[in-house]
Amino acid sequence: MANLTETKKLDPITLYTNNNQDCVSEKENSSLTVDLSLEVWEEIFSYLTTNDVINFCEAFPETYFLLRDKNIIRNFDISGNYLFIEKSLLKYLNEHVSYTYIRHLNINKIYWVEVNVLRSVLQKLPNLEELLALNTKLSFKPKDIVLYKKLTTLAVSVHIADFMHNMDISYYKNNLYMLRRLCCHVPTRNKTVTSGLCTLFPELMALKEVWICDTDDMNTVAIKYDALVVHLQFLNKLVIKSRANIAFLDYKAFGLAKYFESRRFKSIVMKYERLPADQIIPLKNVSIFEPFESTLEKAWDLLRTYKSEMPYDDEAHRVIYMTKQITEVNFRELNFFHHKCFCTPEYINATLVFLRSKNSKRLKKLSTKTCILQRTPVPKGYSVERLERKYRIVEVIKNCPNLTTLELMQCSSCNVTILNAYPYITNWTKLERFTLEVPSYLDGKFLIEMFKTCKNLQFVRIISYNTNENLNRYICHALPHATALRDLHFENKHVHLKEVFSSLLKINSNNLRRIVLRCDYMVKECCHVKYIGVVLQEFIERNPQLLFLLVGLANKSRTDLQQLQEILNPFQKDRPAKFFRVKKNSELLNSKTVFMEVHKDLYTYDSEVSTIDMYTFK
C-alpha cells in the first residue's frame, strides 16, 4: 500500500481526497501498480466516496475494474458529480460499471441530465432499493412512478405537473407499496400540489419515515400536515422544513414526540419521532435539569428563558430530550444567530460557556454574531490599555480547533473595538465554508492572510450592506490566494467588477464552480460595459468548468445588461448544466428555474447550521 504510485509515491487517499471532484491533471505522467489483492483495494476505497473512486479511475484507467466490484459500487453516490456534464451517464454505466450490483443510487443535483436518460438508467438497475433524486428531472409523473416499484426509499422533487386530475389514485398504491421512507421536496406550492400530496400519502400506508421540504416562500395554499399524520398509521419519523409561516405542530396524541424545533431566518424545522407515551414530554419546559449542577446547565437554562429554539443541532437535541442530560453531549453544530437580544452580557456569557465547554471540542459548524469578538471584560482597577488585546474568541478557537463552517454576522450593538479581533479567525485553518457580514468600518485586510492559511476554503460569502471601498481593494488582493475556492458570493454597495474578475483570473487553479456578485453601483473607472466585457469574456474562457454565474446590478440600463448577457450566452448554449445571468438586483430572486433552486444556497442566505438539510436524507 505504501507504493501504489511509482512516480509520485503517494497513496490514493492522500492524492485524491483533497480534490474530490476533479481528475488528476498530471495523469499522463503517472503509472499505477495494480497487482494488489481485491481485498486491499476494497479496504482502500472504503474510505472514499463514489465520486473519489470515479475520479481515481479516470486518472488511472487500468483501475476501472474497481467499478465492477460489488462492495465498492453497492452504494453508488454521484450527487452533483460534474463529470457527467461532459460524459453520458447511461453510456458510462454501460461501459465501466457493473450496474446490476447497485442497490443505493444517489443522483441528487444532477439537474442537467434529461429525464429520458434517467429513466433508462433506472430501468437498468434491477436490484435498486433506494433512490435519491432531489432536484433532478425525475418526479411523480406516471412514467416515473412505474420505475419506483421496487424501491423502499425515495427522495424526489414534486412539481405542479406531477399530479393529473384524471389519474387513478390506486396507481400510487400499486406502484409504491414497497416504500418505507420518502422525502418530498416542494419547490413550488399551489392547490394542485397540496391536493396531490393529500391524495398521495393515504395510499402509501407502509411509510415509516417522511421528510417534507417546502422551500416555496410564497403565501399560497399550505400543506396539510395534520391529514398526513392521521392517515399514516405506521409513521415513526416525521421531518418538516418549510419557508411558509406555519405554527409549531403538536402530534403527541399520535405518539410522535417533537424533539427538535427551530426557526432560523425564514426556515421552520420540526422533527418528530415515535416514542412510548411515558417518554413524551413538552419540549418547551423551562428546565429539564433540576437541580443545576454545572455551568453548562445554567447557561442552557438562561438561553431557554430567551427563546425556545436552542443553538445545537438535531442529534444533540435528541440526546438531551431522551436522557435529560447535557453534560455528556458532544455538540457538532451551534447556532447563536437567531435572537435579537444576543448582545446582552448574560446571553454573551452563556454563549461562551457553550463554546468553551468540553462538549464543544468536536464542534464543526458555528453561526454567531460579532459579539464573541468583544474584548475580555476589564477587572476593576485595571486600565483598558492593559487588556486591549485579550479577546474571548482566542479561548473559543483553542477549544474548537476543528471548525469547518463559520457564519459570522454583524451585531449593530457591538462597538469598533472588535476590529482587532477579526484576524484571529485565520487560526481556524480547517475552514471549508465561511460567511461574513462586514461592517462598514472593517477593511477586510485579514482576508488576505485567511485565504493563505485556510487551504481548504471552498465556499465564501462576503456581504457588506454599506459602502466599503477598502473591502473592495483587499478582497481583490485576497482572491488570488484562494486556490481551493469553488463558490464565491460577494456583495457590496460598490463593486469593482473589472477588478474582481481580474483577481479571479489570477487564481492558479480551475476549481471555481459558482459565482454571485451583487452591487448597487459600480465605481466610475470600470463602469463602461466594454471594459467589464473584455475581462469577463477572458475569465469565462479560462474557466470552462464554471457552472453558475449571477451578476446583479442596480444602476445599469437594460441595454448595458443585455450587452453583458450577449457575451455570456455563447458559453452556455447547448450546455444544460450552465447558467450565466446578468440582471437587475430586483429581478434576481424572481426566477423559479431548477438552476436557481439548486444554487439557492449561494445566492440567498439562510443559515445551514443547527438545522436540517434535505440532502442529509439517506
Asked if residues 101 and 129 have their Cβ atoms less than 8 Å apart, the reply is: no
Same domain, 440 and 505: yes
Same domain, 145 and 53: no
Q: What is the strand order of the sheet 459-463 is part of?
A: 333-335, 365-369, 405-409, 433-437, 459-463, 487-495, 514-522, 548-553, 579-584
Report the predicted TM-score, pTM, of the whole model to 2 decimal places.
Answer: 0.88
pLDDT at residue 461 in the model: 96
Q: Which amino acid is at 601?
A: D
Same domain, 478 and 565: yes
The pair phi, psi for residue 249, each rounded to 5°, is -95, 140
Query: Of 483, 602, 547, nearest to 83 (Cα)?
Result: 547
The answer as to whether 420 is a domain residue is: no
The answer as to whether 129 is a domain residue is: yes
Residue 213, beta-bridge partner list: 185, 241
Same domain, 302 and 254: no
The answer as to whether 499 is a domain residue is: yes
d(CA 179, CA 105): 15
pLDDT less than 70: residues of the chain: 1-36, 38, 165-167, 219, 277-292, 307-308, 338-342, 378-389, 415-416, 522-527, 588-594
d(CA 269, CA 262): 5
Same domain, 178 and 257: yes
The answer as to whether 572 is a domain residue is: yes
pLDDT at residue 388 in the model: 56
413-418: long-range pairs with CB below 8 Å, 24+: 413/343, 413/371, 414/343, 414/369, 414/370, 414/371, 414/373, 414/374, 416/441, 417/374, 417/375, 417/388, 418/370, 418/373, 418/374, 418/375
d(CA 125, CA 106): 13
Residue 157, beta-bridge partner list: 185
The answer as to whether 409 is a domain residue is: no
Same domain, 59 and 100: no
pLDDT tens digits, 111-135 = 999 999 999 999 999 999 999 999 9
Same domain, 218 and 344: no
Query: Of 538, 494, 545, 535, nearest to 515 (Cα)?
Result: 545
Q: Does the N-terminal peptide bond of residue 401 adopt cis geometry, omega within 30 degrees of 0? A: no
Cα angle at 496 between 495 and 499, to 5 degrees?
145
pLDDT tens digits, 258-273 = 889 888 877 889 999 9
Total domain count for the chain?
4
pLDDT at residue 617 in the model: 94
Quote the crossing angle between the two packed helices 497-505 and 469-478, to the nearest 10°: 10
d(CA 550, CA 562): 14
Same domain, 501 and 378: no
Of the three residues 72, 97, 113, the one that is the final residue of a domain is 72
The answer as to whether 419 is a domain residue is: no
368's grid cell:
454567531
The answer as to whether 249 is a domain residue is: yes
pLDDT at residue 475 in the model: 95
411's grid cell:
451585531
CA 585 to chain centre: 23
**Residue 48 Cα distances to 17, 104, 118, 456, 517, angstroms:** 7, 16, 25, 17, 34
600 CB contacts (<8 Å, ≥6 apart)?
Answer: 215
Same domain, 162 and 248: yes
The answer as to whether 584 is a domain residue is: yes
Query: Of 63, 67, 64, nearest to 5 (Cα)?
Result: 63
Domain at 465, CATH number:
3.80.10
442: left (phi over 0), alpha (psi -120 to 50) or beta: beta
Asked if residues 497 and 567 have their Cβ atoms less than 8 Å apart, the reply is: no
Of the three residues 351, 377, 396, the one that is the final residue of a domain is 396
Same domain, 196 and 185: yes
d(CA 192, CA 194): 6
Asked if residues 248 and 270 have their Cβ atoms less than 8 Å apart, the reply is: yes
Of the three residues 54, 72, 90, the one that is the final residue of a domain is 72
- Full residue range of the structural domain in which residue 517 is found: 432-618
Q: What is the number of H-type helices and E-type strands within the chain?
A: 22, 18
pLDDT at residue 3 in the model: 34
Same domain, 259 and 319: no
Query: Of 459, 454, 468, 373, nearest to 417 (Cα)?
Result: 373
The pair phi, psi for residue 97, each rounded to 5°, is -120, 135
**Residue 93 Cα distances to 50, 54, 63, angstroms:** 13, 11, 15
d(CA 77, CA 324): 37
Same domain, 83 and 147: yes
d(CA 258, CA 282): 8
